[in-house]
Amino acid sequence: MNQAPHTEIPNAVAKRFAALQAQSRKALIPFFTAGYPSPAETMRLALTASSAGADLLELGMPFSDPLADGPAIQQSSHEALESGLKMKDTFNIVEKVTSKTNMPVVLMGYYNPIGALGVTGFVRSAKSAGVSGLIVPDLPPEESGELRAAAEDSNMALTFLIAPTTTLNRYQTIADSSTGFVYAVTVAGVTGARRLFAKETDAYLQTVKRNIAKPVVAGFGIASGKSARRMARRVDGVVVGSAFIELQRTNPRVRARAAVGRLVEEIRKSLDSLDSGVNT
């Protein structure tokens, strides 16, 4: 008896990108640090962003040595850890968010906490909480076999990063290892809002998109509707993080939530105007 051919089941992240591409829309992915300024407030911020037009959520897992993050996100991670946040609290936030919205949640964090819990146990707990995908900046594809296998078993997306310093001959390895989208880092540096991007950034993103068939999102430094629109011209979506953390840092909680909602709406409008061909 012949076996039926294996059919890959699209994960929730891949499904969301397919739906967006069918509508000719760009993905808007806000980043918040789990537990900053509190677990309850992280959930409220996520729901605010969802209502304002976010498509997916990137939720940062606080870590003591966040090598890819700039000062704003580093400080938010530090404060979350100082408040006593544990991984179980992060999973609890995800569970509450996914019970109230259909927005896929992608956890972003470093390999040490995953390894400390055990890869299989971590992925199972994450999946049980409602996590749809993982981004692990300090894990190269060549060393990701255990996590990739566990994520595949749980039908969870795994995303790897491409940077301006990545050589072309590694693009396909990164693309083949990524099962939701590929994350194109816009600068050779850490996260943080920026006023200007070099012209080389546009050429770099064009090169990434030209060489990778999977959805590509741009992140690091995007802080406004204008910068989001510029980056999204060349890729399939944007991640915005430090700008939201700064709003939380400089405003009382209720005002911060409102400011986050306004910025999400601004970026959503800007991205949609790009998709519809409106010049702004």
Residue 14 included in any domain: no
Query: What's the mean pLDDT when you consider all of the chain?
Result: 90
User: DSSP label at 67?
Assistant: T
Residue 10 included in any domain: no
Residue 183 has pLDDT above 90, yes or no: yes
The proportion of the chain whose per-residue pLDDT surpasses 70, expressed as a percent, equals 90
Q: What is the model's pTM?
A: 0.92
Residue 33 included in any domain: yes
Q: What is the pLDDT of residues 102-138, one digit of tens each?
A: 999 999 999 999 999 999 999 999 999 999 999 999 9
User: DSSP label at 69?
Assistant: -
Q: Which residues are known catalytic residues?
A: 58, 69
Residue 68 has pLDDT above 80, yes or no: no
Residue 17 included in any domain: no
Q: What is the pLDDT of residues 217-253, one digit of tens each?
A: 999 989 999 999 999 999 999 999 999 999 999 999 9
From the list 50, 271, 70, the residue with the least C-alpha distance to 186 is 70
Residue 242 included in any domain: yes
From the list 155, 161, 153, the residue with the least C-alpha distance to 177 is 161
Q: Which domain does 184 fall in, by range?
A: 24-274
In order, the DSSP letters of 122-188 are HHHHHHHHTEEEEE-TT--GGG-HHHHHHHHHTT-EEE-EE-TT--HHHHHHHHHH-SS-EEEESSS
CATH assignment at residue 45 = 3.20.20.70
Number of domains in the chain: 1
Model pLDDT, residue 65: 77
